[in-house]
Amino acid sequence: MNDQQDKLDLARKFLRQEIVACTTCCSRCDGDFIWTGPHTEAEDLLLTFEFDNDVELSQEEQEAVFDGMVCPNCGAGIEPWGEVQYRSEYDKEVQRLAEDVFRPELVDELERFAQHLKTYPYLGAIDKDETGIKICEAIRTVRSTYECNGIYYRARLFDSSGRMYPTSQMGNPDPAHVEVPEGRYNHFGQSFLYLADNPTTALREISPHKDGICAIQKYQLKLISNILDFRTDYGEMNPDLGILPAALIYGGMISEKPNGTSSWKPEYFVPRFIADVARYWGYSGIIFTSVYQTGNNLVLFYPPVPGCEPIGDPYPFRLKENERHFFRGL
Ligand SMILES: [Zn+2]
């Protein structure tokens, strides 16, 4: 960093990158600022830049850096002595993750893995890039899990004579008596309990193109822990996931829709590989955002798990008119 102008430009870039709020845009309560993250005087933040880059700025250079500097959040002028909120380590992790998950090399690697599974559905752990092994380790080391509590919903269409099934037949089916089709997270004949956190989502998942009538059974979930959290939040990716799981989620690989008319559904191979890995590492299930963006789905691997009980009788459920209109185009 020889050139003085470069040094000043880098210092300005650093401040613009680090500052997330100032005294003008920060909320107040009874006259006190409500900072939602770490904060300090702007000139102290500049000292961090000098320390990190092993440079020293003269008084004139510091003034030059602040000349015309504005808050990236609200556009108000920033003075050296003014208090500013700066990016926390968590904020930086979120940003790094968002940059990492869309790296072209990673996107290509995951695409090769999906193709590998389409060719050899049972050989996920011996692909050339060793992506399967990396996914195994990444799922094992996810830093935080979800705990399910509260009411969840299970939907079934009416039977062939138009009647609702009783509660005893609203749970996951017994493969010894009923054909259990393959699903996003279960193999053919493998019976898991799929729930949703609202009735609309439960219905859409079983009947995305129909008129929207089904039977709903409520379930009370009590502290079912160790759920893999695959919910999506495009505003703030969860850094606890790690890069590979986040790339699989945000790259769309676990939410691809299969061709409805074909019995060959390779779109399910990656999510089912993940489900196998998750079960192997002892997770109870996976919670994930519905492709219809109306709520979350929950798949419980080994129902009936303790803490998951049906409550009341099934009841008929129909989408509201505005919901029917929204889904007609899908
Ligand atoms: Zn501001």
Residue scoring higher pLDDT (327 or 23): 23
- pLDDT at residue number 124: 95
User: What is the whole-number distance in angstroms between the Cα of residue 84 and the centre of ligand 1?
Assistant: 8
pLDDT(55) > 70 = yes
Asked if residue 170 lies in contact with residue 154, where contact means CB atoms within 8 angstroms, the answer is yes
User: What is the whole-number distance in angstroms between the Cα of residue 17 and the centre of ligand 1?
Assistant: 13
**23 Cβ contact list (under 8 Å, min separation 6):** 33, 82, 83, 84
User: What is the whole-number distance in angstroms between the Cα of residue 88 and the centre of ligand 1?
Assistant: 16
Mean pLDDT (whole number) for 189-212: 87
Give phi and psi for 311, each to the nearest 5.
Answer: -125, 135
| Per-residue pLDDT tens digits for 91-100 | 999 999 999 9
What residues pack around ion ligand 1 (CB closer than 5 A)? Answer: 22, 24-25, 71, 73-74, 76
User: What is the whole-number distance in angstroms between the Cα of residue 76 and the centre of ligand 1?
Assistant: 6
User: What is the whole-number distance in angstroms between the Cα of residue 193 and the centre of ligand 1?
Assistant: 48
Average pLDDT, the chain: 91
User: What is the whole-number distance in angstroms between the Cα of residue 177 and the centre of ligand 1?
Assistant: 63
CA distance 271 to 114: 10
| Per-residue pLDDT tens digits for 293-309 | 889 999 999 766 788 99
Degrees to nearest 5, angle at CA 50 with 45 and 51? 95
pLDDT(328) > 60 = no
User: What is the whole-number distance in angstroms between the Cα of residue 19 and the centre of ligand 1?
Assistant: 9
User: What is the whole-number distance in angstroms between the Cα of residue 81 and the centre of ligand 1?
Assistant: 14
- pLDDT at residue number 17: 93
pLDDT(320) > 80 = no
CB-based burial of residue 157 (10 Å sphere; 0-12 exposed, 13-18 middle, 19+ buried)?
middle
- pTM score of the predicted model: 0.84
